Amino acid sequence: MTAPVPLSQLPVHVWTTPSTVQCGFPSPAEDHAQKRLDLNELLINQPDATFFMRVRGPSMRDAGIDDGDYVVIDRSIEAKHGQVVLAVVDGEFTIKRLFRRAGRVKLQAANPTFSDIEFRDGQELTIWGVVTWTLKGLLPA
């Protein structure tokens, strides 16, 4: 896996409306209200500590993170039990859910066909950052 790439500090603006969208019957209210939305404001809390990476593989599919998605990673957040993290295990990047309880630390996949990563003496684990967003395309690549 390649190294994370820092997000640009330049604003990226797209159009948005002030209302939410129903996944049922459409609402005719606010049909024409629009404003600009800065994706950096939405996705980034700490610009100097925020990176994105492209996901490869299905090990986190049940957490809604699929092959080809992009993830936003914030290095300024202290990782806690249950959070999805970007970890470095023996020099290799991986995205997994952090399990940290009763002195035990392991990385859990969100796909039952993948085993948890449990650590043996001499193995190196670094929690590189916490995954804060998943960006997913809906059109075929």
CA distances from 32 to 17, 25, 116 (A): 8, 18, 49
Greatest Cα pair distance in the chain: 62
Q: What are the residue numbers of the active site?
A: 59, 96
Nearest to 61 by CA among 124, 134, 130, 9: 134
For residues 126 and 128, what is the distance between their CA atoms, to the nearest angstrom? 6
Indicate if the alpha-carbon torsion angle 99, 93, 50, 11 is positive or negative: negative
Burial class of 88 by CB neighbour count within 10 A (0 to 12, 13 to 18, 19+): middle
